Amino acid sequence: DQQVKQNSPSLSVQEGRISILNCDYTNSMFDYFLWYKKYPAEGPTFLISISSIKDKNEDGRFTVFLNKSAKHLSLHIVPSQPGDSAVYFCAASKGNAGNMLTFGGGTRLMVKP
Amino acid sequence: DVKVTQSSRYLVKRTGEKVFLECVQDMDHENMFWYRQDPGLGLRLIYFSYDVKMKEKGDIPEGYSVSREKKERFSLILESASTNQTSMYLCASSGGGTYQETQYFGPGTRLLVL
């Protein structure tokens, strides 16, 4: 049973518009959430994170929103650029579980010029 | 810059063969991880290690073993490869500080078992 789910396997967006990637989780013990980005033939790279004590974290064009009551987080990319085309993974961890991460299935984002 | 390297980018093996996947990190990280990535399933944790000679099972350890004899090196072993172990294998490492340490990934090894 997947504890972290990304229900959209793919998303297509026009360059310059907003990309919104969604992630849902079921385990209320998760208290730290991360987004990773993966290009083909490369390993995932860390993008942005958020602690459960916050509901928003922003880093340049990337913003992550956390809704704890809904067990939902989203990644907003504004404006989207063709170089953002990649697979995005949502991940979660629990404070008492060291560095273990539980990943979602990923969403492939395609940004069209 | 953190660097995590994996011994092979592509491997083709036959069913029943013993397979070794090597991972080396150069940042003196305490923690190292092995994942496999399959379409629609994301990354699933096979094993991790938080110190030399220490190992912990992840979510899908069956059919795999690991070895960590030195801090910088973490090996994944498929004792008898099977076709359902065809996958992309990713190694990662992170520091041993707070639990919110970022994991850094290697480029992956795509393994095909025939």
Please state whether beta strands B56-57 and B4-6 pair in parallel, antiparallel, or not at all (unpaired): unpaired
d(CA B80, CA B78): 6
Residue A26 pLDDT level (bands cut at 50, 70, 90)? very high
Question: Are A93 and B4 within 8 A, CB to CB?
Answer: no
State how far the alpha carbon of A13 is from the alpha carbons of A72, A94, B31, in Å.
21, 33, 37
Is it the case that residue A1 has pLDDT exceeding 60?
yes
Q: How close, in Å, is residue B49 to chain A by CA atoms?
A: 10
**B102: contact with A, CB 8 A cutoff:** yes
Q: What is the number of CB-based contacts under 8 A between chain A and chain B?
A: 69
From A25-29, A55-59, B1-5, B56-60, the region with the lowest mean pLDDT: B1-5
Q: How close, in Å, is residue A78 to chain B by CA atoms?
A: 24
State how far the alpha carbon of A93 is from the alpha carbons of A7, A82, B25, B92, in Å.
19, 30, 22, 15
d(CA A54, CA A68): 9
- Chain B residues with beta carbon closer than 8 angstroms to that of A2: 41-42
d(CA A22, CA A10): 11
Residue A60 is encoded by which pair of tokens?
């340049």
Name the residue facing B40 among A9, A45, A102 (closest C-beta).
A9
**Percent of chain A at pLDDT above 90?**
86
**A29: contact with B, CB 8 A cutoff:** no
Is it the case that residue B95 has pLDDT exceeding 90?
no
Which of B64, B74, B67 minimizes the C-alpha distance to B111?
Answer: B64
Instruction: Provide the residue count of chain A.
Output: 113
Is it the case that residue B100 has pLDDT exceeding 70?
no
Contact (Cβ atoms closer than 8 angstroms) between residue B76 and residue B108: no
- Interface test mutation site (partner B, options A99, A101, A107, A108, max chain B beta carbons within 10 A): A99
**B31: contact with A, CB 8 A cutoff:** yes
**pLDDT for the residue A82:** 96
Is it the case that residue B101 has pLDDT exceeding 80?
no
Contact (Cβ atoms closer than 8 angstroms) between residue B32 and residue B93: yes
| Most confident of the ranges A37-41, A75-79, A99-103 | A75-79
Instruction: Let me know how many helices (H) and strands (E) chain A has, helices first.
Output: 0, 11
From A38-42, A54-58, A81-85, A97-101, the region with the lowest mean pLDDT: A97-101
CA angle A61–A62–A65, rounded 5-degree value: 140
